[in-house]
Amino acid sequence: MAVYYLDTSALVKRYAQEHGTAWMLSLTDVTAEHDLYTVRVTGPEMIATLFRKVRTGEISPDEASRSAENFRADWREQYQIVEMTALVADKAMELAEKHSP
């Protein structure tokens, strides 16, 4: 078991086929028992991303609706949602800078 922070660009791979989908599916499999964290804004960003993929022809409207439904279920049950306060944002920027390659 491990702890992961997943932003929208990572999580979208779980709900729409992209490079990295297989890895994301294994990481988020409930049997892996990982602690998965994301921030509140990921919710609306994910829905926007899925339906943008419809507009660009990457997925069908039905696929987007199914993926959005699956995401909402996982949102309620699998992800630990971090509220984005100014303090959290400042700390995130600090960590990103410190741990960048």
pTM: 0.85
Crossing angle (nearest 10°) for helices 42-55 and 8-15: 50
Q: Note the CATH number of domain 3-98.
A: 3.40.50.1010
Average pLDDT value for residue range 19-25 = 97
What is the structure's pLDDT at 1?
86
pLDDT over 90 at 95, yes or no:
no
Which pLDDT band holds residue 101 (cuts at 50, 70, 90)? low
The answer, yes or no, to whether residue 98 has pLDDT greater than 70, is: yes
List, in order, residues 6 or more apart from 25 with CB less than 8 Å away: 14
> What residues does each domain of the chain span?
3-98
What is the reported pLDDT for 62? Answer: 98
Q: Looking at per-residue confidence, does 100 or 66 come out higher?
A: 66
Which two tokens mark 25?
Answer: 């599916």
What tens digit of pLDDT does each residue of 33-86 get?
A: 999 999 999 999 999 999 999 999 999 999 999 999 999 999 999 999 999 899
